[in-house]
Amino acid sequence: MIYETANTMKTKKLSLGIVGGGPNSWIGHVHRISARFDDRYEIVAGVFSRNSKLSISFGKSIGISKDRCYSNYKEMADKESKRNDCIKVVSIMTPPASHQVIAEKFIDKNIHIISDKPFAGNLDQAKKLYKKIKSNKKIKYALTHNYSSYPMVREAKVLIEKGKIGKVQYINVEYIQDWSGGTKITSKNAKKKLTWKIDNKIVGVSAVLNEIGTHAYHLASYISGLKGKQVFADIKQISNKIKMDDNAQVMINFTNGAKGMFWTNVMARGGVYGLKIRVFGSKGSLEWVQNNPGYLKLNPGKGAVKLLERGFHNAELSKKFSRIKFGHPEGYLDAFANIYKEFSDSLKTKSKKRFFYPNEDEGLETAKFINACKVSSKRKRWVKI
Ligand SMILES: NC(=O)c1ccc[n+]([C@@H]2O[C@H](COP(=O)([O-])OP(=O)(O)OC[C@H]3O[C@@H](n4cnc5c(N)ncnc54)[C@H](O)[C@@H]3O)[C@@H](O)[C@H]2O)c1
């Protein structure tokens, strides 16, 4: 596939509205910084919390004019769409089960969407949202599966497309987190510690899969270019008293016959943001670890392992997505900002070429994957994705 990459020319900023990401939301901060990183967007409107007082005071505190700090997303979509200077793009960073309804409201007003993952809370919502996006030719949609935006992840994708490791045969992804905060989670403190993550009406069909399993599946498909065909999943709840999925082991068969294994866990003590992917092909293999994101291990199969370095001469593509010279560390924010940068370029072109940023196609795929895992885990058998 031929991809479009973002250009470096500066043009008029895109006006951006925000839904979610209030005062204590870390990812809210990440979105706001990412949007500003390349001076492509200007945040001019928002609703930052379900609590309207908090939303308005927070909006004002980050410099948004009072008349564009809204009490809820419906009011924001309605009032913005009547303004001559209506926002061009809205970024959604609320909990999973609300992504669909919020996005649809803005799509109806012809406002482009950048949404955080998961695509939707469950497969039903995902299908509705996908249909809605496809039915409006005036809007574009980007999904912040941000791990796919690291320069060396994109380098890996292109190396595989060029056949450097041959036909992909095995993919292993490990993504573990520790939500315990170092203490024992009990039925008494679970609500305080895990908030909406223990409520399926808010987190959606599965906490561990909607929160991080979706990243594991997306990363594997993105790098390999393969879609999942079947899964055999084993999903575990933290306990009978706390109804939250905290561990998922997933065996997966891909469309080309490749096999994969994902391990995702949100209660792995000390397992702080351990994201790692290994892809093995008929000729060689690749390995990327988020904690050392500037490097990609390439084993061409015929000799010594090569360590490819971001921005260096042996990783040409990665230069396009690097803001920092090789040899200096680059990270999460830079990768996230690649989505904002490319999305603004995509809004300027009618080209049919795909950009590297994940969109609704990948969104629906991830929702199908999660749904199949839930069914498989319940029925204890292989299930089609
Ligand atoms: N891409 C990533 O790496 C990444 C990392 C963390 C979180 N996330 C995603 O971001 C989303 C939010 O997660 P979080 O950890 O920031 O949650 P959070 O609870 O810390 O923050 C959510 C914020 O949204 C606000 N909110 C909720 N419903 C709203 C509504 N209807 N209108 C306006 N504001 C509303 C809340 O008041 C809160 O400020 C989730 O979908 C999560 O999966 C993505």
Q: How confident is residue 2, by pLDDT bands cut at 50, 70 and 90?
A: low
Asked if pLDDT for residue 135 goes beyond 70, the answer is yes
| CA pair distance 279, 156, nearest whole angstrom | 9
323 alpha carbon to ligand 1 midpoint, in Å?
Answer: 27
Work out which ligand 1 atom sits closest to the CA atom of 144: 1
92 alpha carbon to ligand 1 midpoint, in Å?
Answer: 8
Phi, psi of 343, rounded to the nearest 5 degrees: -65, -40
Alpha carbon separation from 89 to 36, 108, 144, 151 (Å, rounded): 14, 13, 14, 25
State which of 19, 32, 50 you would mutate to test the pocket of ligand 1, scoring each by most atoms of that ligand within 8 A of its C-beta. Answer: 50
| CA pair distance 300, 1, nearest whole angstrom | 22
- Strand partners for 18: 46, 91
**Encoding tokens for residue 59?**
């909006």
Over the stretch 254-296, which tens digit does the pLDDT of each residue have? 999 999 999 999 999 988 778 999 999 999 999 999 999 999 9
**Encoding tokens for residue 267?**
């209660």
Work out which ligand 1 atom sits closest to the CA atom of 94: 24
126 alpha carbon to ligand 1 midpoint, in Å?
Answer: 18
78 CB neighbour count, 10 Å cutoff: 14
Which of 65-74, 314-323, 337-346, 372-381 has the least mean pLDDT?
314-323
> What local confidence, expressed as pLDDT, does residue 11 receive?
63
> What local confidence, expressed as pLDDT, does residue 76 receive?
98
Over the stretch 29-66, which tens digit does the pLDDT of each residue have? 999 999 999 999 999 999 999 999 999 999 999 999 99
**275 and 147 Cβ atoms separated by less than 8 Å:** yes
Work out which ligand 1 atom sits closest to the CA atom of 22: 39
Q: How confident is residue 381, by pLDDT bands cut at 50, 70 and 90?
A: very high
Say yes or no: CB of residue 52 within 6 Å of ligand 1: no
| CA pair distance 166, 171, nearest whole angstrom | 13
21 alpha carbon to ligand 1 midpoint, in Å?
Answer: 5
> What local confidence, expressed as pLDDT, does residue 374 receive?
95
Asked if pLDDT for residue 9 goes beyond 80, the answer is no
Over the stretch 338-366, which tens digit does the pLDDT of each residue have? 999 999 999 989 888 889 999 999 999 99
Mean pLDDT, residues 194-203: 96
Work out which ligand 1 atom sits closest to the CA atom of 24: 20
* % of the chain at pLDDT higher than 70: 98
For 189, the 3-state DSSP assignment is coil
* Mean pLDDT score across all residues of the chain: 94
Work out which ligand 1 atom sits closest to the CA atom of 72: 32
Asked if pLDDT for residue 187 goes beyond 70, the answer is yes
> What local confidence, expressed as pLDDT, does residue 8 receive?
62
What's the residue count for the chain?
Answer: 385
Say yes or no: CB of residue 98 within 6 Å of ligand 1: yes
Which of 156-160, 181-185, 287-291 has the least mean pLDDT?
181-185
Asked if pLDDT for residue 218 goes beyond 70, the answer is yes
Say yes or no: CB of residue 117 within 6 Å of ligand 1: yes
> What local confidence, expressed as pLDDT, does residue 12 receive?
83
Position 243: which residue type? K
Work out which ligand 1 atom sits closest to the CA atom of 26: 16
If you compute the radius of gyration of the chain from its CA atoms, what whole number of angstroms results?
21
265 alpha carbon to ligand 1 midpoint, in Å?
Answer: 19
Over the stretch 70-121, which tens digit does the pLDDT of each residue have? 999 999 999 999 999 999 999 999 999 999 999 999 999 999 999 999 999 9
Asked if pLDDT for residue 332 goes beyond 90, the answer is no
For 184, the 3-state DSSP assignment is coil
Work out which ligand 1 atom sits closest to the CA atom of 211: 43
Asked if pLDDT for residue 313 goes beyond 80, the answer is no
Alpha carbon separation from 271 to 154, 174, 261 (Å, rounded): 25, 11, 18
Mean pLDDT, residues 218-241: 96
* All domains in the chain, ordered by first residue: 3-146 (3.40.50.720), 150-323+358-384 (3.30.360.10)
Say yes or no: CB of residue 21 within 6 Å of ligand 1: yes
Say yes or no: CB of residue 106 within 6 Å of ligand 1: no
Instruction: Please name the helix (run of DSSP H) or strand (run of DSSP E) that holds residue 16, with its range, or none.
Output: strand 14-20
Mean pLDDT, residues 210-233: 97
**Encoding tokens for residue 17?**
């509205």
CA 247 to chain centre: 19
Return the closest-CA partner of residue 176 out of 272, 252, 80.
Answer: 272
State which of 19, 49, 334 you would mutate to test the pocket of ligand 1, scoring each by most atoms of that ligand within 8 A of its C-beta. Answer: 49
5 alpha carbon to ligand 1 midpoint, in Å?
Answer: 28
Pick the residue with more confidence: 6 or 192? 192
DSSP secondary structure string, 25-69?
-HHHHHHHHHHHHTT-EEEEEEE--SSHHHHHHHHHHTT--GGGB
The tokens 């009406």 sit on which residue?
A: 201
